[in-house]
Amino acid sequence: MRAHAAVHQLIYTDPILSSVYGINESRVWNAQSLDVMPRKGYTILTRWEEETMQRGGFGRREVLTVWVHHPRESMTDFAGINEILDRIEEVLLEAIHVQGMDGWLSQVVYNGRSPELNDEGYKTIVRNAAFLVSSR
């Protein structure tokens, strides 16, 4: 079992992310599921990377990278992106034993952030944060 659905739900149902930054279910995507980036507002992409089984086979650990994008034609200031990443970090680190449609999120550990970047493919400014997600 995995915790992908639980992570997405924690992000798009957070009242601060929703009310302040307009983050809702239509703004949170798995990185491989989005071909065209919305041209207004913030978009969050999650990328699930390396996966290992925990000792005894009672769960798994996955590296999760959360990317926050904003179209660069309307903004080049990273303040909002940094605030969103701060809030996502807070929400995920507080989440312990959360049930999702695809499994249970057991715990999340923060693992750092990228520098401020330009995504030439999506034509956005972007930054990411990495986490280690334990699930069962």
The string of pLDDT tens digits covering residues 97-131 is 998 888 889 999 999 999 999 999 999 999 999 99
pLDDT tens digits along 2-12: 889 999 999 99
* Percent of the chain at pLDDT exceeding 70: 96
CATH number assigned to the domain comprising residue 85: 3.30.2000.10
13 is in which domain, residue-wise?
Answer: 4-135
Number of structural domains (the chain) is 1
Q: Provide the pLDDT confidence category of residue 54 given band limits of 50, 70 and 90.
A: low
Angle at 52 between CA 108 and CA 117, to 5 degrees: 60
Residues 28, 86, 75, 127: is their CA dihedral positive or negative? negative
Task: Find residue 29's DSSP bridge partners.
Answer: 45
- The pTM of this model reads 0.92
